[in-house]
Amino acid sequence: MILKSSHQLQKYQEVAKLSTSILWQLHQKVEAGVTPLEVDALAESLCLQHGVRPNFKGVGSPDNPYKYSTCISVNDTVVHGIPQDVPLKKGDLVKVDFGIEKDDYNTDHCFTVVVGDFISKQDENLLKTGKEAVLKAAHMAKVGKTTGDLGYAMESTVEAQGFTVAKEYVGHGIGRTLHDEPHIPAWGIPGRGQKLKEGMVICVEAQVIAGDNNLYTDKDGWSVKTKDGSRVVMFEYMVVVGKKSANILTPTMDWPLVR
């Protein structure tokens, strides 16, 4: 979607603010002993309370539609994790991906936290690197840049620390639909790809893997996991492309990384 007026921008900011406030409450819910299913139930309740639709629910094929309000991917689950009824424990890397639809405006954003404390230096570096990479790209979302510029910023930041970006899943435009043009891979060549236009609303995201990019889909038909069992973090920010600077609609960058 490309915003054409200040009214549209204001409306999108209002919806994004509500979505961010719900996501914050999910962030605060994540702790040792709590199950991802309980976090998802809170998301469902908050959406009902605010009269909004959780826009992940119902996505997919008619024979296997997604049934939850969130995707909660733990440790070696890369993306699209079905919320499990398994208590979280110290050291778990928990990715909470969430979005709403209100008045024909969609949101989509994600954070990762570690439960309790890090159990390894690698996990700490992985989490901080993932956030740094995506935030670096998000701040680059302005006129004159391309999707390749953003992708290269993410990939180069990640690979400098010995990690890998998932190649199968990409950032995207968003607006009246959950997924729109352009596609924004977490890798690329500077200057290549689609040029960013003023007012374009995009989701900048990356799944950052401690090991290699060999993945498989679990028997549940949704949860994507690493074949080598390596751990993964994910961050996603919604951004409006500006003439001189990026306007981050979902400012979750200052949220604590430890829960």
SS3 4: coil
Residues 6+ apart with CB under 8 A from 207: 78, 79, 165, 166, 169, 186, 232, 233, 234
Which residues in 186-203 are b (16+ Cβ under 10 Å) and which e? bbbeeeebeebeebbbbb
Which residue stretches of 68-174 are H helix? 121-139, 147-159
Specify the pTM: 0.97
Q: What is the pLDDT along the chain (259 residues), one digit of tens a residue?
A: 999 999 999 999 999 999 999 999 999 999 999 999 999 999 999 999 999 999 999 999 898 899 999 999 999 999 999 999 999 999 999 999 999 999 999 999 999 999 999 999 999 999 999 999 999 999 999 999 999 999 999 999 999 999 999 999 999 999 999 999 999 999 999 999 999 999 999 999 999 999 999 999 999 999 999 999 999 999 999 999 999 999 999 999 999 999 9
Structural domains in the chain?
6-248 (3.90.230.10)
Residues 6+ apart with CB under 8 A from 67: 57
Q: Which two tokens stand for residue 27?
A: 């962030």
φ/ψ (deg, to 5) at 13: -60, -40
SS3 139: helix
